[in-house]
Amino acid sequence: MFAKDIGIDLGTSNVLIHVKGKGIELNEPSVVAVDPAAKSMVAVGEEAHRMIGRTPGNIQVMRPLKDGVIADFDSTEAMLKGFIDRLKVRGWFSKPRILICCPTDVTSVEQKAIKEAVQKSGGRQVFLEAEPKVAAIGAGMDIYQPSGNMVIDIGGGTTDVAVLSMGDIVTSASIKIAGNTFDNDIIQSIKKNHKLLIGERTAEDVKIAVTSLFPGGEEKELAIRGRDLVSGLPRTVTITSKEVSDAMEESVAWILHTAKNVLEKTPPELSADIIDRGIILTGGGALLRGLDQLLAEELKVPVFTAEDPLACVAKGTGIMLDSLDKKRRKS
């Protein structure tokens, strides 16, 4: 048995792994639970995610990545190893080749750290690719033509905006405002308006269920529970779409501003192509209700949400792994 090549989307929120010839075989939150005293790993992925905010004092639940880069090297390595082991992609005598994505503006030191973590967790040869490029390929864009393509990837920790042509990034920007920022905006707003403290997971539920960013869009509401800041007792309040979009307004404005900046730096021929082809939204944040319409109106360019935006990068790694061998055979 030979080792199978794999593509990894190492995201701040989720890790997805594409196994060549099979498809996406793993999709789990990037979370680990450790017992610091015993220096042991208690759980990884889904199992660890369920423990967020619910652990006793001796167990620590953490996210090994922050803002798209490795915040804790050891736990990133342990998490990747846990995931790769589960897939049984190793051959009898060989290790898999691994293609992994990183944000556009990581430093060379950070790049090296990512490569090293992957190598240690079981890779033979490691290829690093810029995430927006892979996201665009996974969203079905043909980025290898001499024509402009624009993608906005809104993940958990970062939003990456890029214009691509002939297989490479022409202009790009990355900001640390994305899904987690929205969750935090919601936590702060509920604290201020309702004197109620809610957890990260509840904030994310609110975001997914009731966000409606485009004026005049669908209005929703959700009853949520938290801890009253004054009495300290559990209490329920109802949150509306208006309240959530107000809370997220500033963060959304930053994303808009970043996209505008990238468009302004883009050579005119490529801008003209983008007016024709539109902008593609990928990453979990692409699912925010009304965001596509809002961006389209503000940027005066058509905006489309990719099909299955959370899986674009992983799908893209699959496509790139296939072409890796084709290139080899030609040369």
Which residue stretch of 71-79, 252-260, 278-286, 319-327 sits at the interface with ligand ADP (rule: CB under 6 A)?
278-286
Please tell me whether residue 288 binds ligand ADP under the rule CB under 6 A: yes
Hey, which residues between 139 and 158 contact Mg ion (CB under 5 A)? 155
Minimum distance of ligand ADP from residue 19's CB (angstroms)? 19
Q: Tell me whether residue 33 or residue 281 sits nearer to ligand ADP (CB atom).
A: 281
Among 179, 226, 290, 316, binds ligand ADP (CB under 6 A): 179
Query: Is 2 within 8 Å of 21 (Cβ atoms)?
Result: no
Q: Tell me whether residue 158 or residue 266 sits nearer to ligand ADP (CB atom).
A: 158
Please tell me whether residue 76 binds ligand ADP under the rule CB under 6 A: no
Please tell me whether residue 14 binds ligand ADP under the rule CB under 6 A: yes
Q: Tell me whether residue 9 or residue 273 sits nearer to ligand ADP (CB atom).
A: 9
Among 7, 11, 148, 179, binds Mg ion (CB under 5 A): 11
DSSP per residue, 10-76:
E-SSEEEEEETTTEEEEEEES-EEEETTTTEEEEETHHHHTTTT---TT-EEE-SEETTEES-HHHH
Minimum distance of ligand ADP from residue 10's CB (angstroms)? 8
Hey, which residues between 124 and 163 contact ligand ADP (CB under 6 A)? 155-157
> Cα separation of 44 and 32, whole Å?
4
* Amino acid present at 249: E
Query: Is 68 within 8 Å of 12 (Cβ atoms)?
Result: yes
> Cα separation of 124 and 220, whole Å?
49
Please tell me whether residue 290 binds ligand ADP under the rule CB under 6 A: no
Size of the site for ligand ADP (CB under 6 A): 18
Q: In what order do the strands lie in the sheet with 14-19?
A: 23-29, 14-19, 6-10, 98-102, 126-130
> Cα separation of 119 and 101, whole Å?
14
Work out what residue 157 binds among Mg ion, ligand ADP, none; the CB cut-off runs from 5 to 8 Å by kind.
ligand ADP
Minimum distance of ligand ADP from residue 266's CB (angstroms)? 24
Q: Tell me whether residue 55 or residue 305 sits nearer to ligand ADP (CB atom).
A: 305
Cα 127 versus chain centre, distance: 19
Q: Tell me whether residue 77 or residue 183 sits nearer to ligand ADP (CB atom).
A: 183
Q: Tell me whether residue 96 or residue 290 sits nearer to ligand ADP (CB atom).
A: 290
Q: Tell me whether residue 121 or residue 202 sits nearer to ligand ADP (CB atom).
A: 202
DSSP per residue, 160-221:
EEEEEETTEEEEEEEES-SHHHHHHHHHHHHHHHH-EE--HHHHHHHHHHH---STT----E
Minimum distance of ligand ADP from residue 262's CB (angstroms)? 19
Alpha carbon distances (Å) from 81 to 3, 32, 119, 261:
15, 12, 10, 39
Residues that bind Mg ion (CB under 5 A): 11, 155
